[in-house]
Amino acid sequence: MGVTDAKEMREKGLAAEAKQDWDSALTYWERVVDRSVSTRAQRDEAFAHIHTFRDKVKPLNTDPAKAKSWPTLVVIFKNVDVKWEGKDSFKSTVNEKDMDDARMRVNAFAKAVFDYSDGTFRIDPEFLVIDEPLTTLDRSEPGPSYSCNREAEMKLIMKRLKVQDDVRGTPKRYEHVLAYIKYVGDDGKVISPPYQADTGGGGPGGASFMDCPWFPGSYRNIEPGEIEIHEFLHPVHMIFNDIVCYPDGIAISPDWGGGQNTTWKQIPGEAGIMSLYKYMMRVRYTRLMWSEMTQLEPKEFFWGGPNHCDWVVLGVFTATEGKAALD
C-alpha cells in the first residue's frame, strides 16, 4: 500500500459518512493517519471523526486463531524472602487463590487487547511459576518504598528458561514478559512500591518486561487487566515510533492520559481509565498499524527508517516562591 493523499481521503471519508457507510468511512479516515503525509491538524480531525462512529464498525475478525500472536511470558515468583541488613525483612508465598487472581488478570488483559485491536492481535500467555525464592527487592527512603529488582528477577527467569530450552531443543521467543511479585506478606504485612508497575526492555531475547508489585484481590479502583494493558502500550508506543518508524509523533505513550485530546472523555463512574486505552487502541492506532506490530526491524521501512520525532525543550525559568524548581 502506497502513500495516499490526506485531502482526498478526507473527502472520501466525509462522503462515506454522509451515506452512513461506516466501514468505508473508517478506512478512508485511517489512511489519513497511517498512509498520508498529513499534518497534525488533519490527523486530529481524522481521530475526531473516527471516534464518533467507531463502534458502528464490526470487528475485522472475531476468531482468536486468526489474530496475530504476541507470545507473552507470565512469571509468578511464588516465594519472596528478603532481608535488608539492619532494617527489615519480608516474606510472601503465592497460594492457589492468588494464582486464580493472576490468571483472571491476564485473561482480562488478553481479552481487552483482542477486542480493542479489532480482533487483529492476540496475547498468547505462557505461565512460568518460579519456586526458588526471590531474595532481592530494593528498599528506599522515604517511605520506605520497595522496588522490584530486574537483575535479580532475570537471573531466576533465565535459569528456569534454560531448563525449558534444553527440553525443547531451541529457545522460545517471547515478545513481552509480565512478572508478578506478591507484596502481601505471609504475616499480613503489606509493603508499598513507588509505582503500580514498570515496563522497560531487558527481557529474554529482547522482550519488553513488566514488573508488577502484586496485591492479589485488590485493584485499587481500577479494572482487572488495566495495569497490564497500560504497561503493554509502552512497548507498543516504542515499536510504532522506533521500529516501524511512524513519523511525527503518531504513536503515543499511555502516560499521555488523554490530555491532548478533546474527543475522549472518561465514562462517569468508570473504575480506572480502560476507556482511554480502548480509545488509544481503536482510534489513535489503526487496524493497519496493528498488523504491522513487530519487535524485529522491518526489511523495508515504509516511512524511511528510524527517526527522531518530537523534542520538548524546557527553557530557563524562575520557580514560584516557596517551590523547588524541579517540582
Would you state the cell numbers that stand for residue 170, as one nine-digit string?
A: 531451541
304: left (phi over 0), alpha (psi -120 to 50) or beta: left
pLDDT digits (tens, 9 = 90+) for 269-301: 888 899 999 999 999 999 999 999 988 877 777
Which pLDDT does position 262 carry in this prediction? Answer: 63
Looking at residue 199, its pLDDT comes to 92
Three-state secondary structure call for residue 12: helix
Q: Taking a C-beta distance cutoff of 8 angstroms, is the pair 201, 209 a contact?
A: yes
Task: Read off the pLDDT of each residue in 224-235 and give the average, rounded to a whole number.
Answer: 95
Rounded CA-CA distance 190/216 in Å is 11
Which tops the pLDDT comparison, 153 or 325? 153
Which region among 185-189, 207-211, 272-276, 316-320 has the lowest average model confidence (pLDDT)? 316-320
**Long-range CB contacts (within 8 A, 24+) of 246-254:** 246/34, 246/289, 246/303, 247/303, 247/304, 247/307, 247/309, 248/40, 248/309, 248/310, 249/40, 249/309, 249/310, 250/33, 250/34, 250/43, 251/285, 252/280, 252/284, 254/230, 254/280
**Quick one: average pLDDT of 5-25?**
98
Which region among 99-108, 187-196, 219-228 has the lowest average model confidence (pLDDT)?
Answer: 219-228
- pLDDT at 110 > cutoff 80: yes
pLDDT band at 324 (very low <50, low <70, confident <90, very high): confident
Report pLDDT for 311. 66
Which band of pLDDT confidence, cut at 50, 70 and 90, is reported for residue 214?
very high
pLDDT range class, residue 261, cuts 50, 70, 90: low
Q: What is the mean pLDDT of the chain?
A: 91
Our CA dihedral for 213, 188, 136, 88, rounded to 10 degrees, sits at 130
The H-assigned helical ranges of the chain are 6-18, 22-34, 40-53, 96-116, 150-168, 226-238, 274-279, 287-291
The per-residue pLDDT for 144 is 92
Average pLDDT over residues 208-234: 92
- Is residue 172 within 8 Å of 235, Cβ to Cβ? no
Q: Label residue 243 by pLDDT band (50, 70, 90).
A: confident
| pLDDT(310) > 60 | no
- Looking at per-residue confidence, does 220 or 205 come out higher? 205
Return the pLDDT at 87: 81
DSSP state of 69: E
